[in-house]
């Protein structure tokens, strides 16, 4: 994602130092600084077992911290954003 100029929030290797959007409000800046892990999650994973060929599937809800991050991004973009985040 960094290659596409859209690094992941909380990615210390490819994300570099957090650079909130110029128009970001203080609330969003604080939320981004407090997010201590990569903002990466799969709601569902599906694969064929490599030996048996059995179709396997797992589901996991979006973690609360990521839900909160997304909500802060939505609110800030509506209040301060001239462009999409």
Segment 18-32 mean pLDDT: 84
pLDDT tier at 82, thresholds 50, 70, 90: low
The DSSP annotation for the chain comes to -TTTT-PPTT-TTTT-S----TT--HHHHHHHHH--S-----SEEEEE-TTT--EEEEE-PPPHHHHHHHHHHHHHHHHH-SS--
Give percent of the chain with pLDDT exceeding 90.
Answer: 42
Residues 52-72: tens digit of each pLDDT: 999 999 999 999 999 999 999
pTM over 0.75: no
């Amino acid at each position: 994602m960094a290659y596409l100029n859209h690094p992941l929030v909380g990615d210390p290797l490819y994300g570099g130092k957090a650079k909130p959007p110029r128009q970001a409000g203080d609330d969003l800046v604080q939320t981004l600084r407090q997010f201590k892990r990569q903002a990466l999650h799969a709601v569902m994973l599906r694969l064929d077992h490599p030996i048996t060929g059995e179709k396997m599937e797992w589901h996991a809800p979006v973690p609360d911290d990521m839900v909160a991050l997304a909500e802060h991004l939505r609110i800030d973009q509506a209040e301060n954003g001239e462009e999409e985040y």
